[in-house]
Amino acid sequence: MKKYTAMILGAIVIVGCGFAAHASAQSFEGAIDMQMTMRGKTMETHCYYQGNKIRIESNSGGRQSIIITDLGAKTMTQMMPERRMYMTMDMPDAKTLPQPATTTDKPVKTGKTETILGYVCDEWTITDSKRKATTDLWLAHGLTIMPPMSGGMQRNPNAQNYDAIYKEGGFPVRTIVKDSTGTEQTRMEVVKIDKKQLDASLFTPPADYQKMQMPPGMMHPGMQGGAPMEGQQSGH
């Protein structure tokens, strides 16, 4: 499920990085609920957006995870509600992240449209020429959201391949990944969109949470799907 989540977030990031720089006071503020499904297993994710801040809540195997990304401060914070603890680290420099191989794959607008949750959506298809896999995206017009980690993707050598989508704008409210036989492997669907003003407290750890120190050289737990080590806590 962790691998699947990364694939879906990757698809959202690819589309979103093109319009992330255009986020403004008119950008979406509110909550979006998503369902991610792979091999019959479904995980619900709740995302909250306010300015440059994103809060993502997920529950897998009965374990709750909350990650807050502050694109302005360039920090990521993972909260552990069951332990009433949190950990914060700087976001990695995009230059240090591994980049995908250069490809010539480009998205194709199919001409099909569908209304999803009140938004008119255009269907796009992206073909992976190496794996012969396809990703179908339904982009909602008028829904401008800055997705998690969008800034890092601006250095993606394949970013220019997606100029057509960037110019269209929008947000992927449905993403389906199929293998070379056309069999659906993974699916992400937005099931609820709630535009509303959010309380700033959503984007900071509660006052009674204890801060933990990140062990030197350790990746952020939210990036590797792991959990902080026992005893690695500060005296705060």
For the chain, the domains span 2-224
Cβ of 213: how many Cβ atoms within 10 Å?
15
**Higher pLDDT, residue 37 or 157:** 37
> Chain-wide mean pLDDT for the chain?
74
**Higher pLDDT, residue 122 or 162:** 122
**Higher pLDDT, residue 19 or 134:** 134
Can you give the pLDDT at residue 11? 43
Cα(86)–Cα(76) distance, rounded to whole angstroms? 10
Cα(61)–Cα(40) distance, rounded to whole angstroms? 14
**Percent of all residues in the chain with a pLDDT value above 70, rounded to a whole number:** 63
Residue 220 pLDDT exceeds 70: no
> What stretch of H or E contains 108?
strand 108-116
Q: Tens of pLDDT along 141-166?
A: 888 775 433 444 444 555 555 666 66
> What stretch of H or E contains 211?
strand 210-212
Cα(227)–Cα(232) distance, rounded to whole angstroms? 11
Can you give the pLDDT at residue 204? 95
Please compute the mean of the pLDDT values over residues 111-127 and round it to a whole number. 93
Cα(179)–Cα(53) distance, rounded to whole angstroms? 34
Cα(64)–Cα(81) distance, rounded to whole angstroms? 7
Q: Tens of pLDDT along 58-77?
A: 877 677 889 999 988 989 99
Considering the segment(s) 2-224 as one domain, its CATH architecture is: Clam (2.50)
Residues 59 and 43 sit within 8 Å (Cβ to Cβ)? yes
For residue 172, how far is the Cα from the chain centroid?
Answer: 11
**Higher pLDDT, residue 226 or 62:** 62
